[in-house]
Amino acid sequence: PKVFNGKFICNRCGHEMFVKQLKAKKTLTHPNVCDSCNRRNFQFVPEESEFIDVRFITIQETLDKIEAGESAREVQVWLEDDLARSFDVANGVTGCEVTVNGVYRLLQSKEKGSVYNRFIEANNVLFHTGMQDHELTNEDIKEIKKLSKGDIFGKITNSVGIDLYGHNELKLAIGLQLFSGNTKNLLTNSGKRKKGEINLLIVGDPGTAKTDLLLDAVSISPKAMYTTGTGSTGVGLTASVEKDRVNDGHWVAKIGPVGMCSGGVCAIDEFDKMSDEDRKKLHDAIENGFIDINKASVRARFNTQTAILAACNPNLSRFTPYKPLFEQIGLDAAMISRFDLIFPVRDVLDKEADKHKAEHFLSNTDNDRKPEINKILFRKYITYAKTNIHPTIKDQDAKDRCIEYYIALRALGHEGSFSATMRQLGGIERIAFASARARLSNKIEVGDVDRAIGLINFILKELATDETGAIDIDRIMTNHPKTERDKIYKIENIVRVVCEAREDKLAPLDDIMEKAAESKIDKNTTLKILNVLKIKGILFEPKEDKWKWVGGKGNKRIKHNNGTGKHENEKNNHR
């Protein structure tokens, strides 16, 4: 609260006086002289003074109005009384465009100092919390509806990343991501928030134009920001608390790009270069759809209903389709599972394809290739769709198609290999939602579901197909796909059997290697599995090249049936 009308008592005669305080002044304004005795000695009485609510917010220039190399300028806005009470960060106003009417003032940073800070004393504030930041005329709406007729998805594909040759599935997925985000009916029947944003990860070899794709998506989306994992910390991406230079050094909450883009897209390049701690903060923001801050007396919640478009490089600079995803990028399974679509972008040696890529690249300077939908119209199209179109999946045929696909995909799983989980079903629903919205339809139809299924199938074929040709979703979603788990079970069983057969109850490394070779497990893989089991505390190495099973009551041992490939857990009371 801020003093609005202060009560003062003359220390000499006890005369009471009220003085209205100036808005642009941090210190109290005392009476000049006592009306009764003409003295200047007063005592302030806060208990009997009048107070009003006050809040300080910071606004900055929109990124599309900033010249290259410049930083966004910002200014503080003072909200008082009813304006302060009407402002609520939980309503999603952070990151949206705002119209402020008020008086532009200067405030001395220090008493009798020569440095002044700028602020706006607001009389009225209008927050554009929807996608209304681009005003649409009747002509715009007519053009948008006309554009939606025909092959809108072909037009979208040909309007995203036009400098990149091929990769039409990826371009379509990025285009649909711009339409994602369920702004209505966000709660399930149990009251839990239902995720509506599509998160997309691009894993590509160096020089495959990943950054160009991210920047192109940001330039199209009505609400988007671009940042990098190397140039941002976890709190920098989400939210932080810092001292305010204008408001007497009070602690204030600062929102990062993920919160600023709530309702839009946040593009994060070099995603794999972030530290584990920073990714944990980002994971929480993506999972919950909001950020809670409880630091330095600041209590706030910011919405982070943001679609994440991320890009990263493989660990060894080249993506290998036959290795599990977690072995190739520096991301844990929990973070990987947050992405609905993961696209590999590979630089493959192909003479014919290389010729087309070179021709496509050299034609970039001719200015004869333009997007099928120009960016201004595309931005307006997305704005109109996200503001007015809110599809639902009430069509029974569309529901049946989702269920049939999910059951058929699950049926492909075998002997501990899972080909689909509920996350894939949720991803299909979100992609189908975006597809219907792109058509300007409030009804999700079978065609929208088939479009989502096509993208999911493409990802599964590229990333989740094991050496046998079977689909194993664990190659994407976990650190240990089914084929690797089989090998781990075999090594566990080998160590246990060798230990039980020897008097010293220790398994020599040579014996383990010999039996592993009989099970067609190579030396490097065996050593790797032994180290993993050692870290997990399942095995330990009491002597050099001597391994022992960690026994004890309640521990489990693995029986491996080489004939069936099935695994059986049974109690191991051996010490």
246-255 burial: b if 16+ Cβ within 10 Å, else e: bbeeeebbeb
537: Cβ contacts below 8 Å, ≥ 6 apart: 550
Give the pLDDT score at 171: 92
Kindly report the CATH number assigned to the domain that includes residue 266: 3.40.50.300
* For residue 436, pLDDT beyond 90: yes
d(CA 342, CA 56): 41
Give the pLDDT score at 566: 42
Residue at 369: amino acid letter: R
Q: Which residue range forms the structural domain that includes residue 314?
A: 146-228+260-291+304-388
Name the more confident of 59 and 159. Answer: 159
**Angstrom distances, CA of residue 502 to CA of 23, 393, 498, 505, 508:** 86, 63, 7, 5, 10
* For residue 137, pLDDT beyond 80: yes
What is the distance, to the nearest Å, from the Cα of residue 204 to the centroid of all Cα atoms in its chain?
19
Kindly report the CATH number assigned to the domain that includes residue 549: 1.10.10.10
Q: What's the token pair of residue 404?
A: 């049939």
Residue where one domain finishes, among candidates 354, 388, 422: 388
Do 350 and 496 fall into the same domain?
A: no
d(CA 485, CA 567): 10
Give the pLDDT score at 263: 81
H/E run at residue 55: strand 54-60
Quick one: what percent of the chain has pLDDT higher than 70?
75
Do 287 and 213 fall into the same domain?
A: yes
Average pLDDT over residues 458-466: 76
Give the pLDDT score at 186: 57
d(CA 522, CA 122): 71
Q: Quick one: DSSP state of residue 71?
A: P
User: What tens digit of pLDDT does each residue of 28-63 get?
Assistant: 888 989 988 888 889 999 999 988 888 878 887 765
* For residue 562, pLDDT beyond 50: no
* Of 310, 291, 289, the residue nearest 299 (C-alpha): 291
Give the pLDDT score at 170: 92
Do 116 and 10 fall into the same domain?
A: no
Residue where one domain finishes, among candidates 415, 446, 475: 475
* pLDDT interval class at 408 (50, 70, 90): confident
Do 185 and 279 fall into the same domain?
A: yes
d(CA 397, CA 37): 88
467: Cβ contacts below 8 Å, ≥ 6 apart: 322, 483
Give the pLDDT score at 570: 37
Name the more confident of 475 and 44. Answer: 44
Domain for residue 241, yes or no? no
Do 223 and 366 fall into the same domain?
A: yes
Give the pLDDT score at 234: 55
Average pLDDT over residues 93-100: 74
The dihedral region occupied by 238, where left means phi > 0, alpha psi between -120 and 50, and beta the remainder, is: alpha
Domain for residue 347, yes or no? yes
Number of domains in the chain: 5
d(CA 212, CA 160): 10
Kindly report the CATH number assigned to the domain that includes residue 104: 2.40.50.140
For the whole model, what pTM was predicted? 0.72
Residue 350 CB neighbours (<10 A): 10
Domain for residue 214, yes or no? yes
Across-strand partners of 127? 98
Do 271 and 166 fall into the same domain?
A: yes
**Angstrom distances, CA of residue 422 to CA of 32, 113, 124, 238, 257:** 72, 62, 46, 27, 29
Contact (Cβ atoms closer than 8 angstroms) between residue 173 and residue 343: yes
Do 217 and 190 fall into the same domain?
A: yes
Contact (Cβ atoms closer than 8 angstroms) between residue 106 and residue 118: yes
Q: How would you write 509-572 as a 3-class SS string? A: HHHHHHHHHHCCCCHHHHHHHHHHHHHCCCEEEEECCEEEECCCCCEEEEEECCCCCCEEEEEE
Give the pLDDT score at 535: 73
374-413 burial: b if 16+ Cβ within 10 Å, else e: eeeebbbbbbbbbeebbbebebeebeebbeebbeebeeeb
Give the pLDDT score at 194: 74
Do 75 and 38 fall into the same domain?
A: no
Give the pLDDT score at 397: 92
Give helix then strand counts, H and E, for the chain.
18, 22
Residue where one domain finishes, among candidates 415, 440, 475: 475
Reduce the DSSP state of residue 119 to 3 states and report it.
strand
Do 429 and 487 fall into the same domain?
A: no
Domain for residue 59, yes or no? yes
Count of all residues that appear for the chain in the document = 575
Do 353 and 457 fall into the same domain?
A: no
Contact (Cβ atoms closer than 8 angstroms) between residue 375 and residue 220: yes
Domain for residue 244, yes or no? no
Strand order in the sheet with 507-508: 507-508, 546-549, 539-543
Give the pLDDT score at 432: 94
392: Cβ contacts below 8 Å, ≥ 6 apart: 185, 442, 443, 444
Quick one: what percent of the chain has pLDDT higher than 90?
16
Domain for residue 234, yes or no? no
**CA-atom Rg of the chain in angstroms:** 31
Kindly report the CATH number assigned to the domain that includes residue 466: 1.10.8.60
Give the pLDDT score at 433: 93
* For residue 25, pLDDT beyond 50: yes
* For residue 554, pLDDT beyond 60: no
Residue 137 CB neighbours (<10 A): 9
Do 215 and 308 fall into the same domain?
A: yes
* For residue 133, pLDDT beyond 50: no
Do 402 and 384 fall into the same domain?
A: no
150: Cβ contacts below 8 Å, ≥ 6 apart: none
171: Cβ contacts below 8 Å, ≥ 6 apart: 156, 157, 158, 160, 161, 164, 213
Domain for residue 314, yes or no? yes
Domain for residue 89, yes or no? yes
